[in-house]
Amino acid sequence: MAPRGVATPDVRERLFAAAERVVERAGPGALTSRSVTTEAGCAKGLLHAHFAGFDEFVAELCLDRFARTAARARALPGLAGQGTVAGNLDSVVLALFDSGGPALSGLAMARPAAMARIRAALEGGAPGFAAIQEAVTGYLTAEQGLGRVAETVDPGTAALAIVGTAHHLLMTGWPGAPDPRPAMRRLVAALVDGG
């Protein structure tokens, strides 16, 4: 435990990672400001010193994880011609399910104030599913130009199907639900290999 008055480096990420571990281990019902700070090994008031409240913390956690995945997605067009198309897409789309993604999404949905903050941030331009979809479309278009995706595949429609399915699985998942990754892998393969 960090002593009082001593700066804690990378506070946001430390708290976010702690929250993900709590959710992964005990489910979203176990996530409280106290469980997060205990897991992070820091002072109980640290979360409230950096966030206006627990709803803001949950919203910022979700937005941060969306932004990370969107950043990975924006790198996709640079991978055109490398690896496999399905493998490159899997690395981005499956990242949405890492660290308790479905449980965190469910937690945010159960907290109206957190959802309102997330919605406002996305409407204000924060990266989310739309940014990921745009990047996937650009990537598939680039791969199509290289002949690695069939001409019969509509990149925009395939991207919508991939990202829409990921969104659906995130929003309808629950702790203990079947792992959504195999279904996502099959969908990606069917769309880009079976085009």
pLDDT tens digits in sequence order for the chain, 195 residues long:
444 444 445 899 999 999 988 887 887 788 899 999 999 999 988 999 999 999 999 999 988 888 888 888 899 999 999 999 999 999 888 887 775 666 677 777 778 899 999 999 989 998 888 888 999 999 999 999 999 999 999 999 999 999 999 888 877 776 677 888 899 999 999 998 754
| Number of Cα atoms under 13 Å in the Cβ half of residue 143 | 32
Close Cβ partners of 159 (under 8 Å, ≥ 6 residues apart) = 133, 134, 136, 137, 140
Within 8 A by CB and 6+ apart from 77, the residues are 135, 138, 139, 142
Tell me the chain's radius of gyration from C-alpha atoms.
18
Are 103 and 173 contacting, i.e. CB atoms less than 8 angstroms apart?
yes
Give first-to-last CA distance, the chain, whole Å.
54
Check if the beta carbon of residue 77 is closer than 8 Å to that of residue 150. Answer: no
The confidence score (pLDDT) of residue 168 equals 85
For residue 171, how many other CB atoms are within 10 A of its CB? 12
Q: Token digits for 114?
A: 């957190």
Rounded to an integer, what distance in angstroms lies between the CA atom of residue 17 and that of residue 30?
15
DSSP, residue by residue, 87-119: HHHHHHHGGGGGGGHHHHHHHHHT-HHHHHHHH
User: In sequence order, which ranges of the chain are alpha helices (DSSP H)?
Assistant: 11-26, 33-40, 46-50, 54-74, 85-93, 101-109, 112-123, 129-145, 155-172, 181-193
Residues 63/121, Cβ–Cβ less than 8 Å? yes
| Per-residue DSSP letter, 6 | S
